[in-house]
Structure 1
Amino acid sequence: MSKTLVIGAGGQLGQCLKVVAERRGITEIVFPAEQDANILNESGLNDLLAKQKPAYVINCAAYTAVDKAEDEFNLAKAINETGASYLASACLANGATLVHVSTDFVFEGNEVKLLKEDDEAEPINVYGLTKLDGEKAVASILPAHFIIRTSWLYSEYANNFVKTMLKLGAERDELNIIADQVGTPTYAIDLANAILDIIASSSNVYGLYHYSNEGITSWFDFARAIFDISETKVKVNPIPGSAYPTKATRPAFSVMDKTKIKETFNLEIPYWRDSLVECIKQINKLEAI
């Protein structure tokens, strides 16, 4: 595989890319430390790419604290838009193709329909707005780009919904979980595999793609599946989002159509519950070490 550089290597997706690269025997992939790959250091990014000479760069660096972003607009914008533009410029100057990870939260999510890449993006929170602006910056600067929107990312690494539910389920007898926000959980290991498949294909069908696991669920049913698979005895009550107000508004329905990515790169995408079974197995393995 062509030499690849990962920005944001310490985050959830970065850690998953490391694991998947090792499993697949990919050695031409570099995971620089955060201080050497600061998304907000324009000259540092240029120096890093000039030194490493990657054919591909994967951008996993992002501001993802959805509620906090409402109060930290400038920081979210700096990382999600300005940082993305710095990286796209560095890729352009050094002849690299950029794989940039984005989100389903660019959509308003007020209609029950599968969201396609060319559907209008109308973010309803700061996080979604800054990620959309990051997409636009990448697309305007660098023709050789793959922008991949994903949703509800989780894994055995970092903080995420699955690990939070397992922790709360062990501590409490009863939990209230939102039942009227619908989307698709995505196992970050599956996304990492898909990204490396796209790079390995050497395709130049650049542009915007949607990737999540297959299937549709609510946060409530996702939580129930986590407890069912992990055999955690806890009562789960469905509640409307209005009963659990958050600083940032979430899309009510953000299930993405994945036809384009499947057909372009001949990808087989696992069903969300099958991937959840695998993730919980890996979490148990890590805890046993």
Structure 2
Amino acid sequence: DRPELRVVADQIGTPSWTGDIARAIAGLVAQHRDLSGTYHFTNSGAASWYDFAVAIFEEAKSLGFPLKIDRVLPITTAEYPTPTKRPAYSVLATQKIAAVLGAPPPHWRSGLRQMLADLKSHQ
């Protein structure tokens, strides 16, 4: 019997790939040196930690990564107590940076796919 992974399903955020974040910052620095203020960047699309874990599991499996679990199970925040209280919803607004860059940020699933493909190519 292979173990299960239990992941919080009632905390929502926006998973973001550092490659996409770096490209956004490079675009701002290269083309918009006169900007000021605060700009939020995250990949688009919201997901719970559980949704993110399931996507990682699915993408890793499709790429042939060896997996040590059979399934991902949703749990509540109450079932996973931590010393620090986490927000239930922590999605940032990205319209301002999207307007400056001329396009919305890529979806977090595309960043996940790219990161796992990069990882796979370096194995």
TM-score (norm 2): 0.88
Q: Name the counterpart of 1:210.
A: 40
The runs of 5 or more residues in structure 1 that have no matched partner are 1-171
The equivalent position to 2:110 in structure 1, one of 274, 284, 287, is: 274
Give the residue type in structure 1 aligned to 2:3.
D
Secondary structure of the residue that 1:279 maps to in structure 2? helix
Q: Contact 2:43–2:106 at 8 Å: present in 1 too? A: yes
CA shift for structure 1 position 268: 4.0
Q: CA RMSD in A?
A: 1.3
Structure 2 residue 93 is the aligned partner of structure 1 residue 257:
yes
Output one character per residue of 1:29-60: Cα deviation in whole Å (capped at 9) or x when no partner: xxxxxxxxxxxxxxxxxxxxxxxxxxxxxxxx
TM-score (norm 1): 0.39
Larger radius of gyration, structure 1 or 2? 1
- 4+ long deviations beyond 6 Å: none
Structure 2 residue 51 is the aligned partner of structure 1 residue 221:
yes
Alignment of 1:194-209 (within 5 A): 194-209=24-39
Secondary structure of the residue that 2:5 maps to in structure 1? strand
Structure 2 residue 22 is the aligned partner of structure 1 residue 192:
yes
CA shift for structure 1 position 236: 1.0
Q: Name the counterpart of 1:284.
A: 120
Structure 2 residue 10 is the aligned partner of structure 1 residue 180:
yes
CA shift for structure 1 position 208: 0.5
Output one character per residue of 1:219-239: Cα deviation in whole Å (capped at 9) or x when no partner: 001000001011145211100
Output one character per residue of 1:75-111: Cα deviation in whole Å (capped at 9) or x when no partner: xxxxxxxxxxxxxxxxxxxxxxxxxxxxxxxxxxxxx
CA shift for structure 1 position 204: 1.4
Output one character per residue of 1:108-142: Cα deviation in whole Å (capped at 9) or x when no partner: xxxxxxxxxxxxxxxxxxxxxxxxxxxxxxxxxxx
Give the residue type in structure 2 aligned to 1:234.
D
How many positions carry a matched residue from both structures?
A: 116
Structure 2 residue 75 is the aligned partner of structure 1 residue 239:
yes
Give the residue type in structure 2 aligned to 1:258.
T
Secondary structure of the residue that 2:73 maps to in structure 1? strand
Secondary structure of the residue that 2:38 maps to in structure 1? strand
Q: How far apart are the structure 1 equivalents of 2:70 and 2:8?
A: 16
Q: How far apart are the structure 2 equivalents of 1:243 and 1:202?
A: 46
Structure number with the higher strand fraction is: 1
Q: Contact 2:95–2:104 at 8 Å: present in 1 too? A: no
